[in-house]
Chain A
Amino acid sequence: MSDAAETPNVRVLPARRRAAQTIRYWPWLAALVVSVGLPWLFYDWQHARHAGFVVSMLSQTGMMIIFALSFNMLMGQAGLLSFCHSVLFGLAGYSTVHFLDAAGAGQLPVPMELMPLLAGLSGLGFAIVFGYMSTKQRSTAFAMITLGIVQLVTTAATMFHHFFGGEGGIKTDRVIGNSLFGFEYAQSIEVYYLIVAWMMIAAVGMYFHTATPLGRMANACRDNHERAQFVGYDPRIVRFQQFAVSGFYAGIAGGLFAITYEIVTFDAVAAPLAANALLMAYIGGATTFFGPVLGAILITLMQSGVSLMSNSWLIYVGVLFIAMVTFAPAGLTGIALEHAPIARAGLLHRLALPYLRILVPGLIVLFGFVGLVELASFLTIGMAQGRRLALFGRTIDIYSATPWLVSLACLLGGGFWLSREAGQFKRVWDGLMEIARPGESR
């Protein structure tokens, strides 16, 4: 998104131009409105309180959005696959616990609203230390160094007590009694709004970073590091600085984590969390700025939401991963972007019916697959645990053939139907692309 494309006609009237600029930023406003208003959709009017679980999930999502965006600064924007991003997140979290303890004891006169900033700075510090080592190399060697770093820090976190609290982690109390606006931050909804505020700040910051020379050069080094050297930049310095900045934002997320949960354990530095960031960025779409946001929302929903309903959520994540990687390597936003030519040609509505036609068999296939996985899991694990398998409130008897046959039929029949509809869809798609971009073969 270069500036050149944004100012097509220099003789636009000032008023119209201002209006056009505001309209250009309306997605950000919409996101802000949605984030602020969402908890109220689930407000429990009967008990006059917020749904705690919903606020928890939204808080977690907010943190993960910042985390995934900062991870994508490395993966999507700089071409650096980092397995140690969780280290920056977690170490900032541990630091924030110590800061909160100091603030609560009156030794650190920092208001709660600025705590995430402190956390970000500690993330920056750690990123400088680790980045100095890891950015000496690029590509696979870089990834391997970060793998070594994350394993090192994780193991160290369980061993040393004074900073890490050992395996039990360290706890704190976020009610430190120091706030710029007079909030206590005892209630989770207040913490949620703190997260929303910092999420917007971080997202805006990272967005504008992509337009800075450093952000641009990171893209350049990703695409062709030799050419970047010819132009005069040292790719190593670019990598190092990009790593440091991404550490700052990861630190903000880590600080918010410490504030929300009031406990930080070695899980916050461990590899699974870094893998989570990778998942979010990739599934959402690493090639766009907002892809990781989408990915963070989806993955958090799956991990905390779906895992409540099924213990086989790991299989679903694995399958989702594989499906995305095979069919949509550019992620969800990549899929959305592919519609852009058609949308510009004003032909988007022509896809409505074809989409509906693949949605129905798609849902049937999904139903069949989930059914089989849940039945199999129940048969081997769930039943012995004394649970009952229920769909829409009615218990299912796994020994009768019906549920198995129904699931299998849905999976196979739906799959067959889907493949036929998919072929049809492709024809419609190709036709529309032909109209939208004549002469361009796909």
Chain B
Amino acid sequence: MQIGVISLLDGLVYGMLLFMLASGLTLILSMMGVLNFAHASIYMLGAYFAYQISRWVGFWPAFVLAPLLCGATGAAIEVWGLRRVHHNGHIAELLFTFGLVFIIGRAVQMAWGMLPLPYRVPASLDFPLFSVYGENFPAYRAFMLLVSAGMLFTTWLLLKKTRIGLIIQAALTHPGMVSALGHNVPRVFTIVFAGGSLLAGLAGVIAGNYFTTESGMADAMGPIVFVVVIFGGLGSLAGCFIASILMGMVQTFSVAVDWSFADLLSPFGITLAANDLAGEILTIPVSRIGPLVPYVLLIVILLFRPRGLLGTRET
């Protein structure tokens, strides 16, 4: 029970963080069809920018400025890069963002060095908020939850209640028609790309000091974010939200599960040893194969429901 409640809270925080990262990517992918491999790199840039700015003027200005910088970076990438490549097809755009991953990765190493940076939680938030079954729940986690929820709400508000939001929603599912109606779709693309990058940067700002800030962080987050986006389905932020929370919970709860398939069989008197590949697969505890589970889920859902959970269209 204790583990259940705590894991629930932790899974929620992690899931919300995933959602912040994945929502930007889902918007970009749904609307522009671009598989933005550089999304996790922008997340990394957000953390690095925040570190640098907080060294100069403190955490709270960094909290505002770093995401804006990331948004600007995203806009620059879109205007000067992706737009030129757009007519060459989806694969070309994908490869373009791929090339960016290399460049950003090395540039970050060159600018800030190869070691992890001492980007720390600000003192004003570094205290335990409340206690659950004797374990402290740090205030910063609550802050992360708050920021993610606030961002979700703001994005929802923007998309549903503003004019530009309506256009974006339409362009999410029918970009051709929106263009035919006379809207400046390229500019909408830029706005969406910049917005997605801003969200990624924001995720980096609040996660970079809670987790570590180092040059491998893009590679660590990248794959799981893609899984979330595809699982949730294209064109649907709600699906992305559900997928993020689900993945967060799965990752968190699997840690607590120490039994393996062999344990399921032992009540029947069948014992297994890890003497060969089959034995190994059956005796490995779930907590060790936790990281595999999201990919298994991805494959399963794509086999039977290629739109993802709540996807509105297939690409």
Closest chain A CB from B30 CB (angstroms): 11
Within 8 A of A (CB), among B79-116: 81, 84-85, 88-89, 91-96, 98-103, 105-107, 109-111, 113-114
Q: A160 CA to B278 CA in the complex, in Å?
A: 10
A318 touches B100 (CB 8 A): yes
B298 at the binding interface (Cβ < 8 Å): yes
Q: Whole-angstrom distance between the alpha carbons of A380 and B106 in the complex?
A: 11
Known pairs A141-B302, A162-B276, A315-B103 / 6 extra A-B pairs, C-beta < 8 Å = A144-B298, A312-B110, A317-B99, A322-B99, A326-B96, A329-B89
B residues near A275, Cβ cutoff 8 Å: 98
* Inter-subunit contact A149/B299 (CB<8 Å): yes
Q: Which of A133, A139, A317, A377 contacts B303 (CB 8 A)?
A: A133
Q: With A162-B280, A318-B99 as known contacts, state yes or no: A312 contacts B292, CB within 8 Å.
A: no
Contact of A329 among B88, B98, B100, B111 (CB under 8 A): B88
Which of B96, B280, B298 touches A148 (beta carbons < 8 Å)?
B298
**Do residues A145 and B303 form an inter-chain contact, with CB atoms below 8 A?**
yes
A159 lies within 8 A of B284 (CB): yes
User: Which one, A52-60, A85-93, A150-158, A356-364, is touching chain B?
Assistant: A150-158
B256 at the interface (CB under 8 A from A): no
| Contact present for B277 and A151 (CB under 8 Å) | no
What's the dominant secondary structure at chain B's contact region? helix
Question: Considering the chains assembled together, what is the distance between the CA atoms of A122 and B178 in angstroms?
Answer: 50
Asked whether B51 is an interface residue with its Cβ less than 8 Å from the other chain, the reply is: no
B105 nearest CB neighbor, chain A only: A314
Rounded to whole angstroms, the CA-CA distance of A133 and B230 in the bound complex is 16
Is A148 in contact with B302, judged by CB distance below 8 angstroms?
Answer: yes
Contact with B along A374-392 (1 / 0, CB 8 A): 0011001100000000000
B165: Cβ under 8 A from any A Cβ: no
Chain B proximity of A123: nearest CB distance (Å): 18
CB distance from B70 to the nearest CB of A (A): 19
CB distance from B272 to the nearest CB of A (A): 13
Q: Which residues of A contact B289 (CB under 8 A)?
A: 159
Which residue from A159, A315, A320, A325 sits with its C-beta under 8 Å from B288?
A: A159
- Residue pairs across A and B with Cβ atoms less than 8 A apart, 15 shown, are A141-B306, A141-B315, A145-B302, A160-B281, A163-B277, A275-B98, A312-B106, A318-B100, A321-B95, A322-B99, A325-B92, A325-B99, A326-B85, A326-B96, A329-B92
Q: What residues of chain B lie closer than 8 Å to A139, measured between beta carbons?
A: 314-315
Whether A318 lies near B103 (C-beta < 8 A) is yes
Interface presence of B223 (CB below 8 A): yes
CB-CB under 8 A for A152 and B106, given A144-B230, A159-B288, A322-B99: no
